Amino acid sequence: MHSFNKSGRIIITCSKGNAPSLQKEVEELGYKLKDFFQTGIQLSGTLNDCIRLNLNLRCANHILFSLKSFECRDAAQLYNVVSKDIQWENIIDESGYFSVTSNVQNETITNSLYANVKVKDAIADRFMSIKNRRPDSGSKTDKIVINLFWKNNQAEIFLDTSGETLSKHGYRKIPGRAPMMESLAAATILATNWNRTAPFINPMCGSGTLAIEAALIATNRKPGLYRDNYAFMHILGFEDTFYVKEKIFLTEQILDIAGLIIIANDISEDAINIAKINAGAAGVAELITFDLNDFNEINIPVEKDGVIFFNPEYGDRLGEEPALEKTYREMGDFMKQKCKGYSGFIFTGNLNLAKKIGLKPKKRIEFYNGKIECRLLEYELYDGSRN
């Protein structure tokens, strides 16, 4: 049985651009970072720490726990080390199920699926020689997941303690048109430094992701409240005592924020209906005011430190660029005239259109929506005569 209390190397992966927000979250949980990469961070901890991280993190994709790091020139060496140096019979139940995922950049390997098969064979053959029986394997990632990271001549085998990605937060019943991934929405909100008590206005809410994530962040509702299966549960040695305690703690941590203002507005009735359903599934519908309007008609509450966060279409997947130029210009005018005292944010993947906003951004933060390079643009909307 594998020990859940033995310390090791943990890598938390995330989408490009999300790492600074992920770092904030991990540090808020009391962990110290050992390293920081473009698509993840490294720290030390146990499998029990992996459980806590899986339940709590909004901006992560996978929590990986290192089993072995080794020099590896080719597939034969990979097979050798994986079959001999890791006691798989202490990790995977012989009647269980596992899958192998990988990230491979080695000149002897042209297809990473081949590396996956080598790892799978190595595990299966070890089981056959020791137990004369082997666990099932395949592509489903809802049980044990073994991850291979192999770059040049250095390889590392991890237990992917998440299995299915953490980037989906489990409440989105209907995606709507061009929705933001939940982890990206959370990462952009954390990047705004919103104080979690002032108004959060989302004038083009679509399926509601940003408004819902804002409500989840403000009330300290963590993604683990919405998910019941993780890969760590299938590792031999998993006892649910720690998990159940952590899960109860998630419920106890929920905050009741009296008077919190979150507005989710859209011009499309379908979008508003979908946003309401998704917010209901997340248990935060009553915290959000839903409005069906052109954003130009929104009444912005007069409050200090509010955040107004636009995620307009950007011409790649929806709408055409020329028609959108007017919308971008109007967003700039609206923020300048009606949102004084707020911090304004526009998240877009179209930097040409962003120029039409007509305000000078105070900050441009790089994010990625899948493969599309995006920017979160911040505008300081001075109260009084400065604007």
Ligand X SMILES: C[S@@+](CC[C@H](N)C(=O)[O-])C[C@H]1O[C@@H](n2cnc3c(N)ncnc32)[C@H](O)[C@@H]1O
Contact residues for ligand X (CB under 6 A)?
176-180, 203-204, 206-207, 209-210, 265-268, 271, 294-295, 311-313, 327
Contact present, 123 and 90 (Cβ < 8 Å): no
Residue number of the CB atom closest to ligand X: 206
Taking the complex as a whole, how short is the minimal distance between the CB of residue 73 and ligand X, in angstroms?
A: 45
Taking the complex as a whole, how short is the minimal distance between the CB of residue 217 and ligand X, in angstroms?
A: 15
Location of structure tokens 């709408």: 319
Indicate the residue among 9 and 338 with the shorter CB distance to ligand X.
Answer: 338
Indicate the residue among 226 and 295 with the shorter CB distance to ligand X.
Answer: 295
Taking the complex as a whole, how short is the minimal distance between the CB of residue 57 and ligand X, in angstroms?
A: 19
Indicate the residue among 45 and 179 with the shorter CB distance to ligand X.
Answer: 179
Contact present, 256 and 219 (Cβ < 8 Å): yes
Indicate the residue among 93 and 294 with the shorter CB distance to ligand X.
Answer: 294
Contact present, 95 and 58 (Cβ < 8 Å): no
> Could you tell me how many residues make up the chain?
387
Taking the complex as a whole, how short is the minimal distance between the CB of residue 45 and ligand X, in angstroms?
A: 32
Nearest to 313 by CA among 278, 277, 269, 346: 346
Contact present, 69 and 151 (Cβ < 8 Å): no
Beta-sheet pairing, 8-13 with 40-45: antiparallel
| Maximal C-alpha separation, the chain | 80
Indicate the residue among 40 and 349 with the shorter CB distance to ligand X.
Answer: 349
Indicate the residue among 146 and 187 with the shorter CB distance to ligand X.
Answer: 187
Q: How many angstroms separate the first and last alpha carbons of the chain? A: 64
Taking the complex as a whole, how short is the minimal distance between the CB of residue 291 and ligand X, in angstroms?
A: 9
Q: How far apart are CA 239 and CA 243, in angstroms?
A: 8
Indicate the residue among 75 and 354 with the shorter CB distance to ligand X.
Answer: 354
Chain center to CA of 245: 23
Taking the complex as a whole, how short is the minimal distance between the CB of residue 221 and ligand X, in angstroms?
A: 18
Taking the complex as a whole, how short is the minimal distance between the CB of residue 188 and ligand X, in angstroms?
A: 10
- Taking phi over 0 as left and psi of -120 to 50 as alpha, with beta for the rest, 208 belongs to left
Q: How far apart are CA 45 and CA 9, in angstroms?
A: 6
Contact present, 186 and 39 (Cβ < 8 Å): no
Helices (H), the chain: 19-28, 47-56, 75-84, 112-131, 182-192, 209-218, 240-252, 269-282, 321-338, 351-354
Taking the complex as a whole, how short is the minimal distance between the CB of residue 64 and ligand X, in angstroms?
A: 27
Q: How far apart are CA 353 and CA 79, in angstroms?
A: 51
Indicate the residue among 54 and 311 with the shorter CB distance to ligand X.
Answer: 311
Dihedral angle sign, alpha carbons of residues 163, 233, 59, 25: negative
Taking the complex as a whole, how short is the minimal distance between the CB of residue 90 and ligand X, in angstroms?
A: 43
